[in-house]
Structure 1
Amino acid sequence: MPVQQKAKIYQEEWERRLHDVQVSKEDLNQLVMDYLVIEGYKTAAEEFSKEAGMESPVDFDSIENRMNIREALQRGDVGEAITRVNDLNPEILDTNPSLYFHLQQQKLIEYIRQGKIAEALQFAQEELAPRGEESPEFLSELERTMALLAFESSPMMPASVSELLSPAQRMKTAAEVNAAILESFSQGKEAKLVSLLRLLCWGEAMLEERADLPKGKQEDNNQMIAREKLTGA
């Protein structure tokens, strides 16, 4: 098959196309508010709500509740996080066995991290083993977690096992809980701004494959035009 020739887009046409894209201030405000709410910036969301003269899609107190749960998980206090989730809405864990298992898995990890081996073994046997028998996925995760005991602090510990003790593992669990809470409030699991940036990166990659675009100094000009649209200047 013949190679498809790239389209040529000249500087003047490129600038015209950029200037023709219109983004309303209201749409930008909605994107900012959505980001602040999803990511849990309560104070910033309150201030932005006043300045922009718009209402938040959720109660501001619910944002603080989510952040308290996230902070509890990030410092390893899984018990407090579970209590707070149940106080917020007990159906979140009752209807999401995968999320509940991951919270229990995180609790087991914290036992191991603290060197509470006896408690870890008992907890794994009583709380996680029965759930592992119900699901191959849960069993695989349980086996990976228990491998922490087998390797202890050995330098031979596989990365797939040692990563369970990293701060990123706590953040992963916290993000899963946060998404479940947002879903229970009929909110999106991810900020729309993040989705748009991902779509933008995909669009740029597709455009580079199919067209020759102005480069060099023009890239700086493009960025300036984008900033003007975002700031409303």
Structure 2
Amino acid sequence: MSDPRINQIRIKTGVLKRLAKEKVAYEKELEREKARLETMKTNNKDIYELNKQQEIINETVMLLPDCQKRINVAFDDLQKLVKESEFDLNENEIFQTAKGILQELIMPIMSDKTSEKLNDKASSISEWLTILSQMSLKRNEINLLIMDYLISEGFKEAAERFKTEANIDTEKVYEIKNYAESNEQIDQRIAVRSAIENGNIELAIRLINDYYPELIDNNRNIYFKLQQQQLIELIRNHNIEEALKFAQEQLGVDGNCLQLEELERTLALLAFEKPETSPYADLLHTAHRQHLASRINEAILKDQFGDDETPTPKLVTLLKLLLWTQNELENKKVKYTKLVDLPQGTFASSE
């Protein structure tokens, strides 16, 4: 005897698909009527006909919110049933079809719900978090994003531990990365990164020349950044005379890659008895080393596999998209719930 939930899922899936098609039809009709109105204006139709056409457009526009609400209700009903049945029915074809429809509609549905919340003055952080909690995110997909980041950034030991703990198939990681590295290649990248993060820039340059002979010649700006960091390390260690000599003999040699403003900022550290408290103290932060290490790491990957094969880790891309979206909302003075502390996942209402 078949599980009665299968029939319920089939019916609810059919309802959701029908409503989604209905909305698409309304949207297409709206575009046609708008185009017709523009044509009528071009043909200098009288005001009566233009007003009648505008009424048709207004009527179609009024249908869309109600249609979307019915879609939202149908979506929530099906999503709830799918979640409750996933353990028992995951292998069922009808169940998989329902999941596919939900996945297809999740972004427009959440976009609509989010818009309603953002424009509602009564919206709150708790309501926003409730919306987020209703999103269906697959744990294995999140794990792949994390693994992709760890491998791309050269955190080999962390990646190996995470792979074991999360039971990740490495082949699936390489499927989303479009390239695969040998353990030797990863170790070489890690060696360069570690040297930079430890402030041993001479070693980093030597390793780069050994492992990637053409990298510096093809990336002169990066070479300047390495030299700048070497100068910073000399200043950090209070080797003032050596720092001045290095700046004169090394940093001015290649005019094509010289970044005068950055050089001036670095040399300005010498004017302060305690450079770590100066306006240019950011150059001495470990974050400056880490940023350079990430740039070198990216350049190495591009040198090995080509620009098209080594995109930025998808997790980084998503975070950049999040920050860009928040900036756009602020520029348009839209009230929304803002992610203010990324590491802690803290939200606050935007002003």
TM-score (normalised: structure 1): 0.70
Maintained 8 Å contact 1:180/1:189: no
Which position in structure 2 is the counterpart of 1:148? Answer: 269
Which position in structure 2 is the counterpart of 1:229? Answer: none
Which position in structure 1 is the counterpart of 2:189? Answer: 66
- Which of 151, 154, 167 is residue 37 of structure 1 equivalent to? 151
**Structure 1 segments unaligned to the other structure (5+ residues):** 210-214, 216-233
Per-residue deviation, residues 98-141 of structure 1 (Å, max 9, x unmatched): 0000000000011111111111111100000233x445x61111
Structure scoring higher RCO (CA < 8 A, sep ≥ 6) equals 1
How high is the sequence identity, in percent, across the aligned residues?
Answer: 38
Q: Which letter maps to 2:263?
A: L
Q: Which letter maps to 1:147?
A: A
Q: Which letter maps to 1:193?
A: L
Instruction: Spell out the pairing of 1:118-129 with structure 2 (5 A cutoff).
Output: 118-129=241-252
- Which of 215, 218, 225 is residue 92 of structure 1 equivalent to? 215
What is the Cα-based RMSD across aligned positions, in Å? 3.9
Structure 1 residue 61: deviation in Å? 2.2
Per-residue deviation, residues 136-173 of structure 1 (Å, max 9, x unmatched): x611111111101112316983x3x2211111111111
Structure 2 Cα separation of the partners of residues 205 and 141 of structure 1: 27
Structure 1 residue 205: deviation in Å? 8.6
**Structure 2 segments unaligned to the other structure (5+ residues):** 1-61, 80-98, 105-136, 175-179, 338-351
Maintained 8 Å contact 2:276/2:284: no
Structure 1 residue 14: deviation in Å? 5.6
- Which of 300, 311, 317 is residue 195 of structure 1 equivalent to? 317
Which position in structure 2 is the counterpart of 1:181? Answer: 300
Structure 1 residue 71: deviation in Å? 1.5
Structure 2 Cα separation of the partners of residues 179 and 127 of structure 1: 24
Maintained 8 Å contact 1:73/1:174: yes
Q: Secondary structure at the match of 2:253?
A: helix
Distance 1:83 1:140, change over 3 A: same
TM-score (normalised: structure 2): 0.48
Instruction: Spell out the pairing of 1:97-136 with structure 2 (5 A cutoff).
Output: 97-131=220-254, 133-134=255-256
Structure 2 Cα separation of the partners of residues 175 and 168 of structure 1: 10
Q: From the CA coordinates, give the structure whose radius of gyration is larger.
A: 2
Which position in structure 2 is the counterpart of 1:76? Answer: 199
Q: Secondary structure at the match of 1:34?
A: helix
